[in-house]
Amino acid sequence: MTNGGNGQPRQVPDACVARLSLYLRELSRLSSKRVSFVSSRRLAEQLGLTDAQVRRDLSYFGQFGTSGRGYEVRRLHDRLTAILGVSGRTWNVALAGVGNLGSALLAYRGFQERGFLFRVVVDTDPQKIGRTVQGITVAPASRLAQLAREQRIHIGLIAVPVSAAQAVCDQLVAGGVKAIVNFAPGRLDVPSGVRLRTVDLAVELESLAFHLARINNR
Amino acid sequence: MTNGGNGQPRQVPDACVARLSLYLRELSRLSSKRVSFVSSRRLAEQLGLTDAQVRRDLSYFGQFGTSGRGYEVRRLHDRLTAILGVSGRTWNVALAGVGNLGSALLAYRGFQERGFLFRVVVDTDPQKIGRTVQGITVAPASRLAQLAREQRIHIGLIAVPVSAAQAVCDQLVAGGVKAIVNFAPGRLDVPSGVRLRTVDLAVELESLAFHLARINNR
DNA sequence: CACTGTGAATGCATTCACAGCG
DNA sequence: CGCTGTGAATGCATTCACAGTG
């Protein structure tokens, strides 16, 4: 047995957590196709993983499978949504920056479906302030900290140019936000206790270039 | 000594490659500030890593540092650009999908600066076809494979809805593209020999939610 | 002396391989 | 049987710690 049996485990690898939402997506798909059971093998195939890895990942949270048959799609789906914290409850999200990237984030259907609600959207551009995007009015960036506190924001998204990123980040922290995803390239400082993930789109391209260079040069 | 001395190493961890472009960015910054030497300690501090890690990463590619003084900023910068394959040469990039995310990618200055040139941009929307974005005319998606081949595209970016992603991916492969970054959620199939990276924006949010849920629930 | 470069040690993550169950 | 759940083995990645160098 992996853990106490009911509660949460002690030690879940970060890499595993990142995969949970992939499982969830695939299970949703299977569920809508009226598939009722799925084996670790099939699930793995579909997601480009190994069967052992799927079983190991799920085992961190308990025993969901049936020997000889696999996992019951609906049941596993429900358990995973609960584990990921996207069950029942919703998360309040603040977005700073309504440029192209910010707009892409706002428009992304997956967020709403999983209970991530954009409650606060800010920008510095007077042209944009006051406009309504996806049902939310764009507020001035100067009010970010205040709004974050009022709206009890859980997660902040930074989609502003690098030069403004640290200031925006500080405002989010001042507003009591404890989890931030930064899409601006470059490092940000946050106090301990605040969780920060930086997603750098250029890194992906450069990693590919590195590998291509090695293929093409010899 | 880590390797032969001049050439490329044999075994570089993927995680290290991903960090090279962070080093590069920081070195550019230091260079523009007229800083001529930097220690592994300082570099690490700035990027949120450890000094040992910086030294280890760089050591995969040779010996660039001077005992007691650190690394010569300009020299290291030049060596890293060469290693990453972003020196001298340029990379031809094709973009599929000119929605918000696609536009964000097109507008990202960092790409051009590093020698990634958008040569082909396609979309299915008749409203968008024929328009010029960032100096490039949007072509119909049906011509993707042909254009990719004609323009000798190295890297393809997929920024279309999930439903269209696999088809677009197949077109890129048909057009001889060997490296693809997919921004649509969900798995894509590519023949072996083609390098595929999927970047899923929702995964980041859900990973954060998982950790927040663990904090808030007990 | 301050700093690099690197064996050796540690700590994660993945994979193997198989006992055990329905 | 077919498939799960998991110790044990392996393979990466990071960190330690220090000999060696300008």
What's the pTM value of the predicted model, to 2 decimals?
Answer: 0.90
Q: Do B111 and B19 share a structural domain?
A: no
> Quick one: pLDDT band at residue A109, thresholds 50, 70, 90?
confident
For A71-100, the pLDDT digits (tens) are 999 999 999 999 998 887 899 999 999 999
In a domain, B214, yes or no: no
CB A104 within 8 A of CB A110: no
* Residue in chain B nearest A198 by alpha carbon: B204
* Residue in chain B nearest A91 by alpha carbon: B209
Nearest to B149 by CA among B91, B85, B94, B89: B94
Chain centroid to CA B206: 23
Q: Do A97 and A71 share a structural domain?
A: no
Q: Say yes or no: A214 contacts chain B, CB-CB below 8 A.
A: yes
CATH number at residue B110: 3.40.50.720
Q: What Å value separates CA A137 and C1' C13? A: 44
Q: What is the number of structural domains in chain A?
A: 2
Q: Do B42 and B17 share a structural domain?
A: yes
Q: Do A150 and A54 share a structural domain?
A: no
Q: Do A146 and A195 share a structural domain?
A: yes
CB A143 within 8 A of CB A120: no
Token pair of B115, please? 């020698």
* Residue in chain B nearest A92 by alpha carbon: B209
Q: What Å value separates CA A1 and C1' C20? A: 13
Average pLDDT score over residue span B51-58 = 98
Q: What Å value separates CA A65 and C1' C19? A: 17
Last residue of a domain, one of A64, A83, A102: A83
Measure in Å the smallest separation between the Cα of B198 and chain A Cα atoms: 9
Domain extent, residue B75, equals: 2-83
Show the CA angle centred on residue B81, arms to residues B154 and B33, nearest 5°. 135
Q: Contacts of residue A17 in chain B, CB cutoff 8 Å?
A: 207, 210-211
* The pLDDT value given to residue A217: 58
For A15-33, the pLDDT digits (tens) are 999 999 999 999 999 999 9
Average pLDDT score over residue span B177-189 = 93
Q: Say yes or no: B107 contacts chain A, CB-CB below 8 A.
A: yes
Token pair of A133, please? 């995007």
